[in-house]
Structure 1
Amino acid sequence: MADLDVDHEHADVTGGWLRPAVFGAMDGLVSNAALIAGVAGGTRAATDSSSVVLAGFAGLAAGAFSMAVGEYTSVASQSEAAEFEVAKERREILANPVGETAELAAMLTDKGIEPETASEVAEQIHRDIDNAVAVHAMEEFGIDPDDLASPMVAALSSFAAFAVGAFVPVLPYLLGFGLAPAMVLTLLALFACGALVTRVTSRSWWYGGFRQMLLGLAAFVITYAVGLGVGAGLG
């Protein structure tokens, strides 16, 4: 006899924290390290430099608050748009219950359910208005009204992750080292973040790690070159 017990869990990919946290950490690492590289290139600050440290902390603060505000506004707007569509669907169901029930039955039929069974299921679902709204919302525009992302969670996740990521390239300067150790540490952190993200994706850990490391390296090199050019022009 087959074992009917189901014992597995899925990662929370819709809670509103994963994307902003990952994006915040990556952005903090790349943008602040690139900023530091540009300042170091423009000022020729090869070792412990007050200008580089100041730029690093300014970039950390500005970037963290900017990310938090942007994420809050973005997720709030998305949630409000979803709530608008859900409310619209509720009005349609209340105004035309017969037509909406038939529409749901048709959608279930398209999924391979027998027409008679689909009609019966649709009728049962529409006995409860909240249940009917939830099912229609999921079937028609892929939204679960009870599982909308939280703007505050997204903002706080983004703020914290960016701040941690942005602090990494500043740390070597605080310890008395210079640009090269800062970039190496940042590249290692990018590799670790890229590899970690693959735990909830289909990519291999080494692919995700090297991809983030190479993209970060390109950003550092380009920004350092820009800093050299601007610094030479201002000098």
Structure 2
Amino acid sequence: MSAPLTEERPEAHDHSHADVSGGWLRAATFGAMDGLVTNTALVAGVGGGGGSARAVVLAGVAGLVAGAISMALGEYTSVRTQNEQLDLEVAKERRELQADPAGELAELTDLWVARGLDRSLAEQVAEALSRDPEKALRVHALAELGLDPDDKPSPVTAAVSSFLCFAVGALLPLLPYLLGGELLWPALVCGGLGLVAAGALSSRFTPRAWWYAGARQLLFGAVAAAATYGIGSLIGVSV
């Protein structure tokens, strides 16, 4: 007797995606780049104006502390405001679901039709989802707002990430001076290497090649440093 035939089903494969909604990646990348560009340009401006090593360190440390705090507060406020706005819109959507369930069901059906389902199947899916008000609310929020109300970014995570990464980035161009150096060019080299490294690291989360991302950040930093160096030279000579 032959063995009974069994239906072969494809096995689910394990895979994962990067966290794109946690709030830390954008804040960390922005903080590191801003710290590098800001303090490299600041060092270039003070050094270009003929400032002493002590003056460069003082300005650089002040820029590091002020910038890191400012970035952290800005990130916390912006993410918190975004979350509060989302909460407000979700509350509005919840009231609409309670006041006009039939209209919201029709709207949900139209959403699935717009995504490619035929109307009969879209009606079945919408009805199935609408049996659970919280599930229906989540689907409406995702479709209409583009955000998941259960997966909001953390303002604290964004603030801490921004603070730490800004501080690390701003520290790099100061290292030669902190180690006893008195020349400007080693600080600019450290800032440039930091920009290339930060850009290359950020490329891991994007389709860009590492050399492209690194060169782009180096170009941005070079433009800022050249501008402040020129301004510093003019002011330093005239004062």
TM-score (norm 1): 0.95
Q: Which runs of 5+ in 2 are unaligned?
A: 1-7
* Structure 1: gaps (5+ residues): none
Q: Which position in structure 1 is the counterpart of 2:23?
A: 16
SS of 2:29 mapped into structure 1: helix
Instruction: Return the alpha-carbon distance in structure 1 between the equivalents of residues 50 and 180 of structure 2.
Output: 17
Inter-partner Cα distance in structure 1 for 2:23 and 2:209: 24
Superposed counterparts of 1:169-208, under 5 Å: 169-177=173-181, 178-208=183-213
Partner of 2:119: 115
User: Structure 2: how far apart are the matches of 1:55 and 1:44?
Assistant: 10
The RMSD of aligned alpha carbons is 1.2
Runs (4+) of structure 1 exceeding 6 A deviation are none
Name the larger-Rg structure.
2
Between the aligned partners of 1:35 and 1:192, the Cα distance in structure 2 is: 20
Which one of 214, 228, 234 corresponds to residue 233 of structure 2? 228
Matches within 5 A, 1:59-98: 59-98=63-102
Percent identity of equivalent pairs: 55
Alpha-carbon distance, 1:43 to partner: 2.4
Specify the alignment match of 2:3 in structure 1: none
Give, in whole Å, the separation in 1 of the partners of 2:172 and 2:136: 49
2:110 equivalent to 1:106: yes
Correspondence 1:43 to 2:50: yes
**Structure 1: distance between partners of 2:42 and 2:51:** 14
Partner AA of 1:23 in structure 2: F
Aligned to 2:4: none
- 1: distance between equivalents of 2:195 and 2:9? 45
Deviation for aligned residue 1:88: 0.5
